[in-house]
């Protein structure tokens, strides 16, 4: 019935900074930019892709706050985005070379290694290397 995650939405007040981080640091590819009209005003969308995963970066550019008052059900960010890495040590080294510090980890277990970084808005991004599944 359910096949896969189609996309993940990330609401931010700083879309340019967010896109640069996901594109230049984490290797996402920018697919498209769109502006749509909503009851809360214009909404700018940037679609970023990594493999077959789409990240939809969202921003209300004319709102006085990052979350328009008519969108009370929304909040900034998400709880966690997890990216699978091929090699934890190489991934950590590459991130540190770009100035990205680990929030914690890496923690190594028999089946996997985990670590966490933060995007420019402070949203957590888990890094996970699976040794066996």
Mean pLDDT of 22-36: 96
What's the confidence (pLDDT) of residue 132?
Answer: 78
- Which H, E and C letters describe 21-34, residue by residue? HHHHHCCCEEEEEE
> Would you state the CATH architecture of domain 1-65?
Roll (3.10)
pLDDT given at position 68: 60
DSSP secondary-structure letter at 18? H
The CA distance from 9 to 57, in Å, is: 6
Provide the b/e sequence for 1-37 (b: ≥16 CB within 10 Å).
Answer: eeeeeeeeebbbeebeebbebbeebbebeeeeeeeee
Tens digit of each residue's pLDDT (9 = 90 or more) over 98-112: 999 999 999 998 998
Beta carbons within 10 angstroms of residue 86's beta carbon: 8
78-133 sits in which CATH class? Answer: alpha beta
């Amino acid at each position: 019935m359910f096949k896969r995650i189609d996309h993940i939405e990330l609401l931010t007040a700083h879309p340019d900074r967010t896109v640069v981080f996901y594109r230049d640091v984490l290797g996402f590819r920018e697919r498209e930019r769109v502006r749509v009209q909503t009851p809360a005003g214009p909404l700018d969308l940037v679609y970023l892709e990594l493999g077959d995963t789409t990240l939809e970066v969202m921003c209300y550019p004319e709102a006085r706050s990052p979350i328009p008052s008519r969108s009370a059900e929304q909040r900034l960010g998400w709880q966690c985005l997890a990216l699978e890495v091929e090699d934890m040590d190489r991934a950590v080294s590459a991130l540190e070379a770009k100035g990205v510090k680990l929030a914690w980890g890496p923690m190594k277990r028999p089946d996997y290694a985990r670590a966490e970084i933060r995007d420019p808005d402070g949203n957590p991004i888990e890094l996970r290397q699976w040794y066996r599944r």
